[in-house]
């Protein structure tokens, strides 16, 4: 997550500025699905009219497809002396293993290999993602002994919060959400992972069975749900954080509220936006499986209802500023929707409609959401696609035509905005751009501003990219999945493909951020109790330039005096959103 100092074994060093070979080819180094858009990028040191490229069979060495690049593009903010060319080969659908080859100034260049196949992305990555979560379990002897009797901060009372997942490759703490004190930046952590596992298990069961991981993903979802159950207090709120203080002694762990620079408090009660909403959603959804972990299906549902009723009365009290914002809305919408689906109770229907209506009201003419009650644009470093996903899940239950129309229109505006802001200017990689407020001015940029409400937190945004890819796929099918809107739907599919490809190596540093895949990963990171980087985990990724407060420029570092976690650390929301995106592609 975020730490002032960690023990890191640096296998490679990547300088903060982009290296400048004469010609580079960037590809998704893992897999492209047969029927999905496929792009690669060429970077050169001189401007060329165009580039002819071949898709070459990696086994036989024979060309299988030939194409011509798009027009030259430049990204002066990233690399003013270089020229970029997008290679499109979406129509090539032959399964197999391939490379891309080009000739520039009589010299031959070849990309890293990649696979093309039906559901190849799911087949290649989902088993490893499940493995990653299994290895992230906080189930070592030291953790289990400490977490069965954890002290509440400022109290002599202890609670049993064993289980769950370690947050990151350098942080063995456990979070429903951190950054609560910043109000507008709370990410969804353990509850999001749990809901994502449940969602995948329900949406693509035949594929999971084919990959022999159907039971594994269900067991992992139950593991997360059982931790959520233990985290529910008798009063009806969830405990937010089990914090290690980055101390090797497991007895140092406490249940806390967390502020900047590891300052801890007794404000450990979760509001809807602080993990409570997604926790309720996960419990309500898994209660319909009629499978038992350490608790019964009836207990999962009872707990979800108890927590929801509690937050209807106490949510603003738990919100750090005493005001609800957009994160409360979309997390409460998820909670109410799952309870409505599970019970059919009108209370949850009314609450779901209220929250969906709130999101619709927050939509600006420009196409972005307002986060507060005034003018702050909604931007989020990990959950930017969650408002659309919450509305889409709500639409799975809602049948009233007027309510559906409003929700669909909100999704339409959000997705069209994502395309518009991303394509406004040269952007060969198709990296998802965003709107934010910086020093009282509304701006658009590639990366989040480093100067923000947290006072210090910023990092790579691979979870944001995967969340927006999920929103583009799921929301796109709902709103643009007919012949009349085929062009927009195709653009959304391209947008989604480019976000996932960026994570898997098609980025200016040619880093595959999913550990154990591609040619070059981030350095291995050690953590306490034998935890650390794991196969299938996804690192934070690329940021704006370290020295730019507005997040402009570009940066990736594997050494930075203890701050390299901003780029290299694995974090559980990244893989959760990636799993959701690949699930949506595979439905």
pLDDT at 5 over 70: no
Residue 240, CB-side half-sphere exposure with 13 Å CA sphere: 28
Instruction: Give the pLDDT score at 116.
Output: 98
By CB atoms closer than 10 A (0-12, 13-18, 19+), residue 498 is: buried
Q: Which long-range contacts (CB under 8 A, 24 or more apart) does 478-483 make?
A: 478/392, 478/395, 478/408, 478/411, 479/408, 479/411, 479/412, 479/415, 480/412, 480/415
> What pTM, to 2 d.p., does this model score?
0.96
Token couple for 294: 């350490």
Residue 504 φ/ψ, nearest 5 degrees = -100, 20
Instruction: Give the pLDDT score at 9.
Output: 36
Handedness of CA 335, 336, 339, 340 (dihedral sign): negative
pLDDT at 172 over 60: yes
* pLDDT confidence band for 17 (50 / 70 / 90): very low
Handedness of CA 414, 416, 421, 426 (dihedral sign): positive
Give residue limits of the domains in the chain. Answer: 120-586
Averaged pLDDT score across all residues of the chain: 96
Per residue in 50-97, pLDDT tens? Answer: 999 999 999 999 999 999 999 999 999 999 999 999 999 999 999 999
- Rounded-to-integer distance, Cα 490 and Cα 192, Å: 28
* pLDDT confidence band for 12 (50 / 70 / 90): very low
Instruction: Give the pLDDT score at 6.
Output: 34
Mean pLDDT confidence for 549-576: 98
The answer to whether the CB of 463 falls within 8 A of the CB of 573 is yes
**Could you tell me what percent of the chain has a pLDDT over 70?**
96
- Arch. (CATH architecture) of 120-586: Alpha/alpha barrel (1.50)
Mean pLDDT confidence for 230-239: 98
Token couple for 37: 């858009």
The answer to whether the CB of 198 falls within 8 A of the CB of 226 is no
Per residue in 526-541, pLDDT tens? Answer: 999 999 999 999 999 9
Strands of the sheet containing 39-44, edge to edge, are 23-26, 39-44, 83-88
Nearest Cα neighbor of 242 from 152, 142, 345 is 152
* Residue whose pair of structure tokens reads 């949406």 in the numeric block: 203
pLDDT at 3 over 70: no
Mean pLDDT confidence for 128-140: 98
- Rounded-to-integer distance, Cα 343 and Cα 320, Å: 31
Per residue in 295-349, pLDDT tens? Answer: 999 999 999 999 999 999 999 999 999 999 999 999 999 999 999 999 999 999 9
pLDDT at 14 over 90: no
Nearest Cα neighbor of 116 from 242, 27, 230 is 27
Q: 144-168: string of b/e by CB count within 10 Å (b at 16+)?
A: eebbeebbbbeeeeebebbbbbbbb
Residue 181, CB-side half-sphere exposure with 13 Å CA sphere: 18
Per residue in 198-230, pLDDT tens? Answer: 999 999 999 999 999 999 999 999 999 999 999
pLDDT at 20 over 80: no
Q: Where are the alpha helices (DSSP H) in 247-381?
A: 276-286, 297-318, 326-343, 346-362
Per residue in 349-400, pLDDT tens? Answer: 999 999 999 999 999 999 999 999 999 999 999 999 999 999 999 999 999 9
pLDDT at 1 over 70: no
Per residue in 454-513, pLDDT tens? Answer: 999 999 999 999 999 999 999 999 999 898 999 999 999 999 999 999 999 999 999 999
Per residue in 540-554, pLDDT tens? Answer: 999 999 999 999 999
Rounded to a whole number of angstroms, the distance between the first and last alpha carbons of the chain is: 31
Instruction: Give the pLDDT score at 21.
Output: 65
Instruction: Give the pLDDT score at 543.
Output: 98
Instruction: Give the pLDDT score at 22.
Output: 87
pLDDT at 4 over 50: no
Mean pLDDT confidence for 570-580: 98
């Amino acid at each position: 997550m975020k730490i002032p100092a960690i023990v890191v074994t640096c296998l490679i060093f990547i300088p903060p500025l982009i290296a400048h070979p004469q010609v580079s080819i960037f590809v998704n180094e893992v897999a492209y699905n047969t029927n999905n858009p496929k792009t690669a990028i060429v970077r050169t040191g001189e401007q060329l009219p165009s580039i002819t490229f071949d898709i070459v069979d990696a086994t036989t060495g024979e060309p299988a497809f030939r194409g011509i690049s798009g027009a030259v593009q430049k990204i002066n903010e990233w690399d003013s002396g270089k020229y970029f060319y997008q290679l499109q080969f979406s129509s090539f659908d032959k399964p197999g293993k391939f490379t891309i080859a080009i000739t520039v100034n009589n010299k031959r260049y070849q990309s890293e290999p990649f696979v093309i196949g039906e559901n190849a992305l799911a087949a290649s990555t989902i088993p490893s993602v499940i493995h990653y979560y299994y290895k992230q379990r906080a189930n070592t002897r030291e953790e289990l002994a400490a977490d069965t009797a954890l002290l509440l901060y400022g109290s002599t009372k202890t609670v049993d919060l064993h289980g769950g997942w370690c947050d990151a490759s350098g942080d063995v703490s456990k979070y429903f959400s951190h950054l609560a004190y910043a109000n507008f930046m709370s990410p969804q952590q353990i509850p999001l992972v749990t809901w994502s596992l449940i969602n995948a298990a329900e949406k693509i069961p035949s594929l999971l069975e084919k990959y022999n991981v159907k039971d594994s993903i269900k067991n992992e979802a139950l593991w997360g749900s059982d931790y959520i159950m233990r985290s529910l207090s008798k009063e009806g709120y969830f405990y937010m954080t089990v914090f290690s203080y980055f101390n090797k002694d497991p007895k140092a762990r406490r249940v806390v509220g967390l502020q900047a620079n590891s300052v801890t408090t007794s404000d450990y009660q979760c509001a809807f936006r602080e993990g409570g909403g997604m926790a309720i959603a996960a419990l309500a959804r898994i209660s319909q499986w009629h499978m038992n972990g350490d608790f019964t299906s009836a207990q999962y549902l009872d707990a979800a209802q108890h927590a929801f009723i509690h937050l209807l009365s106490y949510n603003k009290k738990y919100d750090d500023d005493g005001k609800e914002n957009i994160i409360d809305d979309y997390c409460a919408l998820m909670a109410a929707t799952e309870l409505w689906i599970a019970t059919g109770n009108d209370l949850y229907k009314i609450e779901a409609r209220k929250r969906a209506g709130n999101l619709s009201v927050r939509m600006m003419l420009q196409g972005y959401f307002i986060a507060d009650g005034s003018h702050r644009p909604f931007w989020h470093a990990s959950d930017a696609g969650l408002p659309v996903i919450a509305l889409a899940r709500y639409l799975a239950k809602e049948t009233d035509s007027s309510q559906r129309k409003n929700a669909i229109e909100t999704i339409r505006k959000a997705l069209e905005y994502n395309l518009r802001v991303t394509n406004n200017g040269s952007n060969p990689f198709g990296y998802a751009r965003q709107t934010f407020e910086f020093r009282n001015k509304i701006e658009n940029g590639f990366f989040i501003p480093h100067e923000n409400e947290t006072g210090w937190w910023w990092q790579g945004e691979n979870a944001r990219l995967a969340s927006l890819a999920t929103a583009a796929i799921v929301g796109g099918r709902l709103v643009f999945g007919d012949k009349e809107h085929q062009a927009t739907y195709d653009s959304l599919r391209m947008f989604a493909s480019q976000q996932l490809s960026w994570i898997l190596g098609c980025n200016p540093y040619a880093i595959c951020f999913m550990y154990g895949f591609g040619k070059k990963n981030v350095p291995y990171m050690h953590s306490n109790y034998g935890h650390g980087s794991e196969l299938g985990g996804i690192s934070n990724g690329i940021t704006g330039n370290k020295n730019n407060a507005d997040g402009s420029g570009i940066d990736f570092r594997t050494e930075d005096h203890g701050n390299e976690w901003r780029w290299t650390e694995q974090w559980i929301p990244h893989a959760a959103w990636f799993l959701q995106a690949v699930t949506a592609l595979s439905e």
